[in-house]
Chain A
Amino acid sequence: MTTPRTSAAPSPPLTWSLRGRGPLDVPVEADSPPEPPESGLVGGSGRGVRVCVIDSGVERDHPVVGPVAGAWRVVKDEAGVRVEETGEGDVCGHGTACAGIIRRTAPECELFSVRVLGERFSGSGEVLLAGIRWAVRQRFDVVNLSLSTTHVRFTEELRKLADEAYFQRTMIVSSAHNTRVESFPWRFSSVISVGSHQEDDPGLHLYNPTPPVEFFAPGQKVKVAWLGGTEIRTSGNSFATPFITGLCARVLSAQPRLTPFQLKNVLYLSAANVRIRGGP
Chain B
Amino acid sequence: MEQSIKPAPPTAAPPDPVLAELLQSVVDTALAIFGAEASSILLLDTAADEMVFEAVSGQGQDFLVGSRFPGGRGIAGWVAASGEPMVVDDLRDNPSFDRSLAQSTGYVPNALMAAPLVHGERILGVLEVLDPSPGARSALSELDVLALFARQAAVALQVLLPRAPEPISADTRTRDELRRLLSEARDLLGE
Q: Which residues of A are in contact with B by a Cβ distance under 8 Å?
A: 56, 91-94, 117-120, 122-123, 147-152, 177-179, 181, 183, 196, 198, 219-221, 226-228, 230-236, 238
Contact = CB atoms under 8 A, between A and B. Distances in A.
Given A123-B72, A150-B83, A228-B96, 5 more contacts: A119-B72, A122-B72, A178-B143, A220-B140, A238-B84
B82 interface: yes
Contacts of B144: 179
B77 A234 contact: no
B84 A232 contact: no
B139 A123 contact: no
Interface in B75-97: 75, 77-78, 80-91, 93-97
Contact of B72 (A94, A117, A221, A230): A117
A119 B143 CA distance: 26
A178 B88 contact: no
A94 B87 contact: no
Contacts of B82: 94, 117, 123, 147
B140 to A, nearest CB: 6
A238 B49 CA distance: 25
A196 B140 contact: yes
Contacts of B86: 94, 234, 236, 238
Contact of A226 (B83, B84, B96): B96
Nearest to B93: A230
B89 A150 contact: no
Contact of A92 (B77, B91, B118, B143): B77
B90 A120 contact: no
A251 to B, nearest CB: 27
A92 to B, nearest CB: 4
27 contacts: A56-B78, A91-B1, A91-B77, A92-B75, A94-B82, A117-B77, A117-B82, A118-B81, A120-B49, A151-B121, A177-B84, A178-B143, A179-B84, A179-B85, A179-B115, A179-B143, A183-B83, A220-B139, A221-B89, A227-B1, A227-B94, A232-B88, A232-B97, A233-B89, A235-B143, A236-B84, A238-B86
Contact of A232 (B81, B90, B118, B140): B90
B94 A228 contact: yes
Interface in B87-131: 87-91, 93-97, 115, 118, 121, 123
Contacts of B88: 226, 232-234
Secondary structure of the B contact surface, majority rule: mixed
Contacts of A196: 140
A236 B85 CA distance: 8
Contacts of B140: 196, 198, 219-220, 235
A114 to B, nearest CB: 14
A148 B49 CA distance: 22
A227 B77 CA distance: 15
Contacts of B87: 234-236
Nearest to B80: A123
Contact of B121 (A118, A122, A150): A150
A230 B73 CA distance: 18
B97 A227 contact: yes
A230 B89 contact: no
A233 B94 CA distance: 11
B73 A118 contact: yes
The interface centre, meaning the residue of B82, B93, B96, B121 with most chain A CB atoms within 10 A of its CB, is B82
Given A150-B121, A151-B121, A232-B94, A178 B75 contact: no
Contacts of B89: 221, 232-234
Given A117-B82, A150-B121, A236-B85, A231 B77 contact: no
Nearest to A220: B139
A151 B120 CA distance: 9
A179 B82 CA distance: 13
Nearest to B46: A121
The interface centre, meaning the residue of A91, A123, A230 with most chain B CB atoms within 10 A of its CB, is A123
B74 interface: yes
Nearest to A91: B73
Contacts of B95: 228, 230
A93 B81 CA distance: 13
Given A151-B121, A179-B144, A236-B87, A117 B94 contact: no
Contacts of B80: 123
